[in-house]
Amino acid sequence: MTFHNPHILWLLVLLVPMAAYYVYRAMQGGATIDISSVEGFRRAPRTFRYWLRHAPFVLRMAAVAAIVVALARPQDAEELSRTNTEGIDIVMAVDVSGSMLAQDFKPDRLTAAKEVAGSFIADRYGDRIGLVVFAGESFTQSPLTTDQATLQTMLARIRSGVIEDGTAIGMGLATAINRLRESDAKSKVVILLTDGDNNRGSITPLTAADIAAEQGIRVYTIGVGTRGKAPYPAVDMFGNRSYVMQEVTIDEKTLREIASRTGGRYFRATDKTTLREIYDEINRLEKSRVEVTDTTVYHELFAVWVLAAFALLMLEFLTEKLLLKRIP
């Protein structure tokens, strides 16, 4: 509770001289009667009227205090906050081809990509995010949603080997674009992460990039892989997995062109640390617009205190006239 005129509360100090004057009058005594002895009065039992003799004055003091509080205009302040979020729709397209199990990232490229992507999702509160995975084909792992718990669960379920192997970058980008086709967000973004060259699919990466540009979708491309050679997984004729050192080949020219045509940027991640830095950079580049409007609504409470003062005065009157009758 707040007061519109808090300075009026200083009038409460008037209660002090009122109380002092009452005590002074009580000590002076009232009307006198000449009697031979007061011994009988001393032995007389004290009824409830004796204990209530000061009640009228206490009630009057309380009424005065209530009137002073009412004059100070007590108010109940209600804080209202309205948040207007202009979010960004983001689709993360993740390569899940067999080469994403290469161990130049610890423990491997795909696991590192999922961990960093999970941190990125956690930082994008209020944005709608979708997940697309691709290898030789592509499919939607999660449609656009603001449910971060669901997104994190679906991200954790991403595995390599669940679809035909290969690297269909164009198909992965096209599927991500299709997720954003019906979006009415003012900002639409695709983050495409891959570690190889486009070698599968019926849509070329640059064709998909032109479609994204027509749809007003920015594409940030990330090439994942160390420079030089890396341990890639290999399976022998008996089905046993081993790792062989192979040259890392990423079609950086195509990834740069995709980013250039759509107004995005290309990044190269050579380890988990740089991959995290890349996602942090994208996070800074694509900031959601949040407007917070704070409003304070005041509810007047003086009427309650006026009614309380009136009730106290009425109670004083009834107590004095009905319970505490005095000798004239």
* Tens-digit pLDDT profile for residues 282-297: 988 887 655 556 677 8
Mean pLDDT of 227-236: 88
Confidence of residue 17 (pLDDT cuts 50, 70, 90): confident
DSSP state for residue 146 in the 8-state scheme: S
What's the rounded Cα separation, in Å, for the pair 127 and 59? 60
Buried b (16+ CB within 10 A) or exposed e, 243-273: eeeeebebbeebbbbbbeebebbbbbbbebe
Q: In this structure, are residues 67 and 305 in contact, taking their beta carbons and an 8 Å threshold?
A: yes
Confidence of residue 325 (pLDDT cuts 50, 70, 90): low
pLDDT at 47: 58
User: Looking up tokens 């971060």, which residue turns up?
Assistant: 148
Q: What is the pLDDT of residues 159-213, one digit of tens each?
A: 998 899 999 999 999 999 999 988 888 889 999 999 989 999 899 999 999 999 9
pLDDT at 297: 80
Residues 6+ apart with CB under 8 A from 155: 114, 117, 118, 121, 131, 141, 142
Q: Radius of gyration over alpha carbons of the chain, in Å?
A: 40
User: In this model, does residue 99 exceed pLDDT 80?
Assistant: yes
For the chain, what is the mean pLDDT?
A: 85
Q: Of 89, 179, 188, 174, which Cα lies nearest the Cα of 134?
A: 174
Confidence of residue 61 (pLDDT cuts 50, 70, 90): confident
User: In this model, does residue 96 exceed pLDDT 90?
Assistant: yes
Buried b (16+ CB within 10 A) or exposed e, 192-207: bbbbbebebbebbbbe
Domains, the chain, ranges and CATH? Answer: 2-78+300-323 (no CATH), 88-287 (3.40.50.410)
What's the rounded Cα separation, in Å, for the pair 150 and 142? 9
Q: What is the pLDDT of residues 294-317, one digit of tens each?
A: 677 878 888 888 898 888 888 888
Poorest-pLDDT segment among 19-33, 120-134, 247-261: 19-33
Strand 217-224 with 266-269, pairing? parallel
Q: In this structure, are residues 4 and 72 in contact, taking their beta carbons and an 8 Å threshold?
A: yes
